[in-house]
Structure formats: C-alpha cells, structure tokens
Amino acid sequence: MQAFVFTDKRLERYAGQFVWLQVDIDDAKNADFLARFPIPAIPTLMVIDPKKESVALRYMSGATISQLTKLLDDGKRAVKLTGPATADSLLSAADRYASQGLTAEAVKSYEMALAKAPKGWGQFGRASESYITALAMKGDNGRCTTFALDTYPRLRGTSSGASVAATGLGCASELSDKSHIESLEKATRESIDNAKIPLSGDDRSGMYQSLIAARGAMKDEAGEQKMTEEWSAFLDAEAAKAKTPEERTVYDSHRLGAYLALGTPEKAIPMLQQSEKDFPNDYNPPSRLSAAYKAMKMYDEALAASDRALAHVYGPRKITVLRNRADIYVAKGDKENARKTLEQAIEYASSLPKGQRSEGTIAALRKRLETMVVR
C-alpha cells in the first residue's frame, strides 16, 4: 500500500478529515499503543475515535484505493454512530472487540451485525470479511468454511467475495474436506481470474497461496507443483511491471517463497541483491538473502547476510532474524553457535516491553532450545 495506494491523489480530498498515523510495530516507543491496540497481522487499518480513544473501524488486510476510500467513509460514519443497536453500530463494536484481541466477543458481534443487516447494506462485504477472518483466527474452521460457501454467491465478483473465498478455502484445507475444498477452489480461482475485481498484486498472490495449500491438503503433489509454478510466473510478471524500486520490492518476499518452494532459491539472489543496493538501511533484503543462501547450502554467505540484517533490524522482527540465524548454524552443523543464538533470541524477546513481548514466542524458543540441548 505504501508503494501503490498512499501516493494516490484521490486521497487528497480527505485532507483535514483524518490525522494520518503510520505505526512502526517494531519500535519500542510504540509499545504502549500496541498494548492498547494489538496488531495481529500486517497490514491492519484502523479508524480511531479521537474522543473515545477506541477503534471505530478495523480492517485486517491491504486495500486498493477504492477499498481505502470506502473504509475512510465508513470510518467517519462509525465515529458518529449513536442511538440503539444497528448493524452499523454492532459492526463497529465487533471491530473494537477484535482490536482488543477479544476474538470470541468479536465473532458474536459480527454475527449480530450480519443478522441485523438491512437489505443492500453497504458494509455487508467488509463485515463478511472481518467475520470470516475472526472465525479463522479462532480456529473455528467448520463455521468458517460453511460461511464462505453460503456467502460467496452474494459477493461474487467483488474484492470481498475474493477474500471470503480464499479465507474459507484455507479453513476447508485445515479440515481436509474434499468437496468443500473443490467448491472454494473454484470460487477462489474464479476471483483470481476476474480482472474486473479491484485486487492488488499481493492480494492475488495470497489467493494463489491458498490454492497451493489446498492442493497440499489434498495430497496432490502434481497439482501443488503446477500451482506453485503459476504463482511464481504471476509474481515475476507483476514485479516486471513495477515503475519504482519500492513497487518491485513489494513482491520480494512472495517471490522468494515461490522460488524456495520450487527448489530454485538461486533465482532470488539477483533480485535481493538489487533490493539491498536500493535500500541499504532495510534489514529485509539481507534477511531474505540469508534464507536463499541457506537453501543453496552457502552457509558462510548466509551468515554474512544475516550479519547485515542484524545491523538494521530492531523490535520483534529481530527475533525472526535470530531464529533464522540459528537455522543456518544447525544446517551448517554448528550446534554450539545455534544454541548461543537461540539463547540470545530468548534474552532479547524477554526484554521487549508489553505490546511487543510475546509469551508464546518466548515459550516456543525455549522449547526449541531444550530440544536442541537434549539431542
């Protein structure tokens, strides 16, 4: 969105209506904000009521310019809501619950909003996306799948329909339900191929990932390979259209993932070397290079790239770099340095302030270290 959406002149009409805030979730100075408004996924868009200091609207996804302008208009209305419970006010309440990490309460409120929705309700699409996302986060794969099957026909041909289909497919894949997987694969494929739906390239990339996971759930190795190849070709074509380095690097992580899945990590090297040259203070290119070099068994190069990443990374993402560094040492056969790196990751993770500190992450690191020591 930074490269493709926030630079759009159509946002100029909102000048003076919103105070724009971009929060760096890795910067410790934002820990208090994150404690009040948890961010479970990136990107997450929120409209915050300045008087109540609470979330009036929340959307856990990227957005095209048309989607963003609608979100802003809906957010303005949500801030002004008063009076008895309506579909709009219930949706706003659900967004508040979701922003506080109260997933069960959010699910219930989204359900009530959808049940109370008037015919032709303008927020039906976003409410459906938010509801099915909450169900998936809650691990309620059964209801998630059923909702997608029931709701997709109403949203066919829209960005919300595409999101509902792909999310539902992910839930069906978790259940390994063949008939539902096939139905939602068809819906997801239909959405990807519909050029009239205003979806960003990375949105379509995420949908490809859902299709690939579905083939994996069906134990269809040939189908999974074919879909991964198609995904990789799509990403290369999208990156080739980029007009700026910022636009091109949007696809770096996706392309690396595709190359790794196809067993061709060497294809990522020139791309990531160029990104590191274009953005010398960004930890992402060298961090991704370290993963590519590791897959190529070029461990010294992987560690050197990891060193460069560590020189720039901060906040919770530093844990990921350290964890990947431990993987490099393990692959190299250097268990002593792998152990020391995990200990460093645990110490750093434990030092993070509330809002950035994750007890689940710390527990996972400790469990991994214990397993390494036992072995």
pLDDT digits over 312-350, tens only? Answer: 999 999 999 999 999 999 999 999 999 999 999 999 999
What is the per-residue pLDDT for 347? 97
Any domain includes 255: no
The two tokens of residue 320 are 């990921």
What domain range is 88 assigned to?
1-116+123-138
d(CA 174, CA 247): 33
Segments of the chain scoring below 70 in pLDDT: 1-4, 82-84, 373-375
- Per residue in 7-66, pLDDT (tens digit) is 778 888 888 888 888 888 888 888 888 888 888 778 888 888 888 888 888 887 777 888
The candidate with the shortest Cα–Cα distance to 269, out of 302, 230, 307, 225, is 302
Q: What is the pLDDT of residue 33?
A: 87
Flag whether 23 is in a domain: yes
The per-residue pLDDT for 77 is 80
Domain presence at residue 246: no
User: How many whole angstroms separate alpha carbon 39 and alpha carbon 99?
Assistant: 7
Rounded to whole angstroms, the Cα distance separating 111 from 131 reads 7
Q: Could you tell me if residue 353 is inside a domain?
A: yes
pLDDT at 3: 62
The pLDDT assigned to 4 comes to 66
Domain end residue (candidates: 138, 173, 199): 138
Domain termination site, one of 138, 168, 201 = 138
Whether residue 208 is contained in a domain is answered as no
Provide the pLDDT for residue 246: 93
**pTM, two decimal places:** 0.84
Q: Where are the beta strands (DSSP E) in the chain?
A: 45-49, 54-59
Is there a domain that residue 352 lies in? yes
- Cα 121 from chain centroid (whole Å): 27
Burial of 13 (0-12, 13-18, 19+ CB in 10 A): exposed
